[in-house]
Structure 1
Amino acid sequence: MRHIFFLSFLFLILFGCKKANAINDEAYAIQSVQMPAKAENVAYDKKPSPNDAPPPKVDEKIEQKIIKEATLKFETDNLENSFSQIQKAALTSKARIINDSEGKDFATVFRNLTIKVPSQNFDRFISDISKGVSYFEVKTISAEDVTEQYIDLTSRLKTKKKLEERYLEILKKANKVSEILEIEEQISAIREEIESKEGQLKYLESRVSESTVTIEFYKTIPEKEGVKISYGSKLATAIKSGFFSLSDLLISLLSVWPFVILFFVFAYFIRKRLKRRKKE
């Protein structure tokens, strides 16, 4: 009798443990899908099981993501030769020129280039265009590690895609129009976030895959040799300058002729009055 009672008690304990595990698995499966407030009564026939639990995280080795950029400025004796050298280096490194501009100021003739270089050929390209350059006025090379940002974006994108898949499964089970509309609204919002994350990830990958190199090279314009001026030429220049100054003065006086006339009339009457007083 005691044996039968002990076996019955052991059976009840094992049955209770299995039931508790089943309840915990079900709670985990439900929490893994956050349903909309008005869609809680959507039919969901799939029975929760331990297989529904998300797979364990695997530590994926992600290649280090580095954004490289460079800014170079140097003087050259021949702009065309320097440009040909840069073109040759670009061809060797499979780079492409995306911006080319040139100009002239008071003392130099210059040319500016913006070049996109595959990151794996970045060092080789810089080395090739540095050949023959005596010194760089500006040489700035930067390397920004964006691996953490890349991993974060990738992880968030995967999470959003999984969430979208879960809402799509819920949508298949929805019966009411109000539930369908609300779930579709949730899916639309998630889709916008997915597209935004994909755009950011694509932009980041493009900056990592291609480095940007900005190059400015210029040639100094030689100053013209000054012409020696003789004493006679200086004297003639001074006479011309005085003549022009006198002309400017006469033009200025003509522009104020009414005031000049009034001045002479006023002076005439004052002089006449003074003569009368002396006679008296």
Structure 2
Amino acid sequence: MKKLSISLVCLLIIGCNKSENIAKEETRADLAEIIQEDKVALSSPTASNSSQPPNLVSEKTESENKSNFPTQRIDTISKKIIKNGDMRIQVGNIQKAQNQVNEIIKNNKAYVQKEEFQNTDTDENVYLTIRVPHKNFDALVNSFSDGVGSVLSKNISSDDVTEEYTDVSIKLANKKIYLEKYRDMLKNAATTKDMLEIQENIRELEDEIDVSEGRLRFIDDRVNYSTLNLNLYKEKVRSSATSNIGFGSRFGDSVTEGWNSFVAFILGVISLWPFFLLIPVLVFLWRKWRGRKKK
């Protein structure tokens, strides 16, 4: 009887182990099926039909999709070079030089973004911010260097933003994919709480997409149109009327200046009249006090 009981216990243990193994195998099979479906959904153009949220995708699947997608984007993005320049040119006639500059700008299909004029006692300055198509930038700079005036300074720089542009483009594409998945999940949301959470995720993604698209537009604008800051400078000389001032005129100016100084001194002294009235009183009091002291 004892042997029979031991045998029954062993059979029960073996049966439980088999059932646990079968359950584990079924769970693994279900999990593998889910992961396989996620892989197909992410790699397929009809990924928007999937109802699985992005955070349930396995790390391996996500890394595989990221490694494949960016490679295609990098191949299609050309070099992104931003060119900027600063020039200062001394000219003999500001108006004539500005007319030449406007003609050069027109010939190179550029335009003036900002213009500023300054006129002082010693010089005249025109400041121009010019936007020119990328392919015409060098020709524009060379035209200014040759025929406008004497170049006092020139600084040209190039900035390669290809890596930044590629990175922003890849992240933007991934965000758009997740946005479509969230929109599909919103259609199948069962509770109000789920709907609110999904809508919040959609709003955040839309904001991030707007920022990324704005950054790409800004880079494209700077790449397609280079910027040149141009300063036209003219140094003033003394006019003949000012340079031929004679001794008589200078003597008269000196007399006038001296008289004005004298009048200012007299007026300053007069303004001190309260003190002049106080001095005799102080002298009288001091003498009276001294006389009493002697007695």
Question: Taking structure 1 as the reference length, what is the TM-score of the superposition?
Answer: 0.73
Match of 1:27 in 2: 35
Match of 2:179 in 1: 164
Stretches of structure 1 that go unaligned for 5 or more consecutive residues are: 1-19, 41-52
Give the SS at the match of 2:147: coil
Contact 1:36/1:183 (<8 A) preserved? no
Taking the TM superposition and a 5 Å limit, the aligned residue runs for 1:108-187 are: 108-133=123-148, 135-187=150-202
What CA distance in whole angstroms lies between the structure 2 residues aligned with 1:276 and 1:172?
A: 114
**AA paired with 2:277?**
I
Give the SS at the match of 2:53: coil
Give the SS at the match of 2:206: helix
Q: Deviations over 1:101-146 (max 9, x none)?
A: 2120121111111111011111111112222255422211110000
Q: Percent identical across equivalent pairs?
A: 27
Assess, with a 3 A threshold, how the Cα gap between structure 1 residues 163 and 251 changes in structure 2: closer, same or farther.
same
Match of 1:43 in 2: none
Match of 2:5 in 1: none
Match of 2:272 in 1: 256
What CA distance in whole angstroms lies between the structure 2 residues aligned with 1:233 and 1:71?
A: 45
Compute the displacement of 1:62 (Å).
Answer: 2.0
Question: Taking structure 2 as the reference length, what is the TM-score of the superposition?
Answer: 0.70
Match of 1:86 in 2: 101
What CA distance in whole angstroms lies between the structure 2 residues aligned with 1:233 and 1:175?
A: 97
Which structure has the highest helix share of the two? 2
Match of 2:247 in 1: 229
Q: Deviations over 1:215-248 (max 9, x none)?
A: 1102111124152315x964x6666555444433
What CA distance in whole angstroms lies between the structure 1 residues aligned with 2:34 and 2:163?
A: 35
What CA distance in whole angstroms lies between the structure 2 residues aligned with 1:94 and 1:27?
A: 56
Contact 2:114/2:130 (<8 A) preserved? yes
Assess, with a 3 A threshold, how the Cα gap between structure 1 residues 135 and 233 changes in structure 2: closer, same or farther.
closer
**AA paired with 2:273?**
W
What CA distance in whole angstroms lies between the structure 2 residues aligned with 1:72 and 1:171?
A: 57
Contact 1:157/1:197 (<8 A) preserved? yes
What CA distance in whole angstroms lies between the structure 1 residues aligned with 2:110 and 2:94?
A: 20
Q: Over the residues paired in the alignment, what is the CA RMSD in angstroms?
A: 3.6
Contact 2:54/2:181 (<8 A) preserved? no
**Structure 1 stretch displaced more, 55-64 or 237-246:** 237-246
2:88 equivalent to 1:70: no
Assess, with a 3 A threshold, how the Cα gap between structure 1 residues 270 and 202 changes in structure 2: closer, same or farther.
closer
**AA paired with 1:163?**
Y
Match of 2:23 in 1: none
Compute the displacement of 1:271 (Å).
Answer: 7.1
What CA distance in whole angstroms lies between the structure 1 residues aligned with 2:275 and 2:124?
A: 55
Q: How many residues align?
A: 245
Give the SS at the match of 1:94: coil
Contact 2:97/2:148 (<8 A) preserved? no
